[in-house]
């Protein structure tokens, strides 16, 4: 479910009080593919509640270039909301999720295997209060960029 940061913090305060483990990840999730689904399923298994920080359209453009995202943020959030492992989605405008991580204080911070552990934004902060930062190896050799390139080759 897509929620504001303020609402998410209210929800998580209550859930943490019940002893629930909060897992956080983030990304653009522009064209959802099997790699995303597998990654999110594995992330969810690391705790009780999976929160996804979703880069806003403006953030994606700054990171990926003017032609991205392919799918607008409201539609990306709708697709993510329908995925069983995802509990909450919060959209952020910044290039990194540092502010979200500081506010949420997840028990587990997770990124894909393409991220070296030492480069994960928020790793040191999460570990400072006893949380864990982990990477999940990719099961599928696929990315949104690869999908876009294939479409261009086939149809352009």
What does the pLDDT look like over 7-65, one tens digit per residue?
999 999 999 999 999 999 999 999 999 999 999 999 999 999 999 999 999 999 999 99
> For domain 5-155, which architecture applies?
3-Layer(aba) Sandwich (3.40)
Dihedral sign for Cα atoms in the order 51, 43, 38, 121 = positive
Rg for the chain, CA atoms, rounded: 15
Q: Is the pTM above the cut of 0.85?
A: yes
């Amino acid at each position: 479910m897509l929620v504001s940061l303020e609402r998410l913090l209210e929800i998580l305060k209550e859930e943490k009080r019940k002893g629930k483990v909060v897992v956080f990840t983030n990304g653009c999730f522009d064209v959802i593919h099997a790699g995303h689904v597998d990654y999110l399923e594995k992330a969810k298994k690391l705790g009780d509640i999976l929160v996804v920080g979703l880069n806003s359209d403006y953030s994606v453009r700054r990171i990926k270039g003017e032609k991205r995202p392919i799918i607008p943020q409201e539609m990306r959030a709708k697709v993510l909301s329908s995925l069983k492992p995802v509990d909450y989605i919060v959209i952020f405008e910044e290039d990194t999720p540092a502010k979200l991580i500081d506010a949420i204080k997840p028990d587990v911070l997770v990124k894909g295997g393409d991220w070296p552990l030492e480069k994960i934004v928020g790793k040191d902060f999460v570990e400072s209060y006893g949380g864990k930062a982990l990477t999940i190896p990719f099961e599928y050799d696929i990315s949104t960029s690869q999908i876009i390139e294939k479409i261009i080759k086939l149809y352009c």
